[in-house]
């Protein structure tokens, strides 16, 4: 008799127990194992218990490939984000992840990063037959992108877009912007700039567009020449946009940033330039980023993680056929007033004394 050879030292693909192993151990057919383990009706409690015991003894988990092929379901969901390292997107992903996990779905993450990644994604459509549903975050979808997604034949839900093609969750960006501008106007600011990554932005939010339009409309007097400076995105975008404003003829008394990370960039540049916030310039952001409190930043708060959660639930509804494709959930925003905004100094001479709040300068 030949002796058993020693096992290879490290992990080679192990043989996992199959449904047949479980069936044999439990003394039933594979069909019954399948039914019992999926919690279907019409299995006697005794049988079910026996099957479960056998499955657990063998550490059996149904092969996703096997069941996927047979059933057409993957039990996973694709989540498409522009840039997962941006705070907003990570929050949305986390919110969705929680809900999906509870429902037993895996999360396939597609991080588009830039225009070329986006193109590749929609061309190759790696989602095809890989996912049961798709969550698309913050992308204003082009026509061919909409049809690519439609062709998936799977439920699609958007976050932060208002594309009528799919159900979605979002905030009212125009209203949020108005909340910010109203605050600045009430403080007496007459020279307000907006800094935005919009122009430069292949990955542009739908939100960015709405915020810009609302910004223009919300300023009381069109002659005040709202100033939109496009930069790169994120912190660096905010820095360079603010630098551009500093290099301009007349510094605005207040700046509205498309989102908090740009506001942070503006804060950074202002501090480096030795200017005080809000003494010299007031700043309002958008999002209520976790670190807005450190920057003492006045900002328009939106529920972020919740948008991911709600969207995931809509997706699950779609999967169970219980959804209304017309759904458009709009979550509320509110202004959080912190120390980065103060009444306007009126730069044209009339210095009405206004005690700016504490500006911590390094």
Partner DNA sequence: CTGAAAGCGCTTACAG
Which residues form the interface with DNA (CB under 7 A)?
16, 18-20, 28-35, 37-38, 41-44, 46-48, 60, 62-63, 65-67, 69-71, 73
C-beta of 110: minimal distance to a copy of itself in Å?
8
Residue 283, binding choice from a copy of itself, DNA, none, Cβ under 5 to 8 Å by partner class:
none
C-beta of 64: minimal distance to a copy of itself in Å?
5
Residue 93, binding choice from DNA, a copy of itself, none, Cβ under 5 to 8 Å by partner class:
a copy of itself
User: Which residues are 283's β-sheet partners?
Assistant: 255
Q: Among 170, 257, 278, which residue's Cα sits nearest to residue 215?
A: 257
Q: Among 309, 311, 290, 314, which residue's Cα sits nearest to residue 301?
A: 290
Omega prior to 155 cis, within 30 of 0: no
Residues 143-162 that bind a copy of itself (CB under 8 A): 150-156
Residue span 62-101 as binding mask against a copy of itself, x where in contact by CB under 8 A, dash where not? -xxxx-xx--x-x-x--x---xxx-x--xx-xx--xx--x
Q: What are phi and psi of 336, to 5 degrees?
A: -110, 115
Q: In 3-state terms, what secondary structure has residue 209?
A: helix
Between 21 and 210, whose beta carbon lies closer to a copy of itself? 21
Residue of 49, 115, 142, 291 that binds a copy of itself (CB under 8 A): 291
Residue 34, binding choice from a copy of itself, DNA, none, Cβ under 5 to 8 Å by partner class:
DNA
| DSSP per-residue codes, 32-45 | HHHHHHTT-SS--H
Cα 158 to Cα 149: distance, rounded to the nearest angstrom: 11
Residues 173-192 that bind a copy of itself (CB under 8 A): none
Residue 109 lies near a copy of itself (rule: CB under 8 A): yes
Radius of gyration of the chain (CA): 27
Residue span 211-250 as binding mask against a copy of itself, x where in contact by CB under 8 A, dash where not? -----------------------xx---------------
Residue 41, binding choice from DNA, a copy of itself, none, Cβ under 5 to 8 Å by partner class:
DNA
Cα 152 to Cα 165: distance, rounded to the nearest angstrom: 14
C-beta of 208: minimal distance to a copy of itself in Å?
20
Task: Write the burial class of residue 332 (CB in 10 Å: 0-12 exposed, 13-18 middle, 19+ buried).
Answer: exposed
Residue 43, binding choice from DNA, a copy of itself, none, Cβ under 5 to 8 Å by partner class:
DNA
C-beta of 56: minimal distance to DNA in Å?
14
Cα 16 to Cα 52: distance, rounded to the nearest angstrom: 16
Q: Looking at residue 233, what DSSP letter applies?
A: S
Instruction: Give how many residues touch a copy of itself by CB under 8 A.
Output: 74
Q: In 3-state terms, what secondary structure has residue 83?
A: coil
Q: How far apart are the first and last CA of the chain?
A: 81
């Amino acid at each position: 008799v030949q002796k058993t050879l020693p096992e290879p030292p490290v992990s080679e693909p192990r043989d996992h127990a199959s449904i047949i192993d479980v069936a044999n151990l439990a003394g039933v057919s594979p069909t019954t194992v399948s039914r019992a383990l999926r919690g279907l009706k019409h299995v006697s409690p005794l049988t079910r218990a026996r099957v479960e015991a056998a499955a657990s003894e063998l550490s059996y988990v149904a092969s996703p490939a096997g069941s996927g092929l047979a059933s057409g379901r993957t039990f996973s969901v694709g989540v498409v984000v522009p840039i997962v390292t941006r705070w907003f997107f990570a929050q949305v992903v986390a919110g969705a992840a929680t809900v999906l996990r509870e429902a037993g779905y895996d999360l396939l993450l597609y991080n588009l990063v830039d225009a070329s990644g986006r193109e590749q994604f929609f061309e190759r459509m790696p989602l095809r037959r890989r996912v049961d549903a798709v969550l698309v975050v913050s992308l204003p979808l082009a026509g061919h992108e909409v049809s690519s997604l439609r062709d998936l034949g799977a439920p699609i839900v958007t976050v932060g877009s208002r594309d009528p093609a799919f159900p979605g969750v979002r905030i009212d960006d125009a209203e949020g912007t108005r909340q910010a501008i109203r605050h600045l106007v009430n403080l007496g600011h007459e020279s307000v700039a907006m800094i935005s990554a919009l122009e430069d932005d292949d990955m542009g939010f739908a939100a960015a567009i709405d915020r810009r339009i609302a910004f223009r409309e919300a300023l009381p007097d069109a002659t005040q020449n709202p100033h939109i400076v496009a930069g790169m995105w994120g912190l660096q975008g905010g820095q360079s946009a603010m630098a551009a404003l500093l290099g301009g003829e007349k510094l605005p008394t207040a700046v509205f940033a498309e989102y908090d990370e740009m506001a942070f960039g503006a804060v950074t540049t202002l501090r480096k330039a030795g200017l005080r916030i809000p003494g010299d310039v007031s700043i309002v952001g958008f999002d209520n980023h976790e670190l807005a409190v450190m920057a003492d930043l006045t900002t328009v708060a939106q529920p972020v993680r919740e948008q991911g959660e709600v969207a995931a639930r809509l997706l699950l509804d779609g999967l169970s056929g219980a959804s209304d494709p017309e759904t458009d959930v709009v979550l509320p925003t509110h202004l959080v007033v912190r120390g980065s905004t103060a009444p306007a100094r009126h730069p044209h001479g009339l210095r009405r004394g206004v005690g700016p709040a504490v500006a911590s300068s390094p």
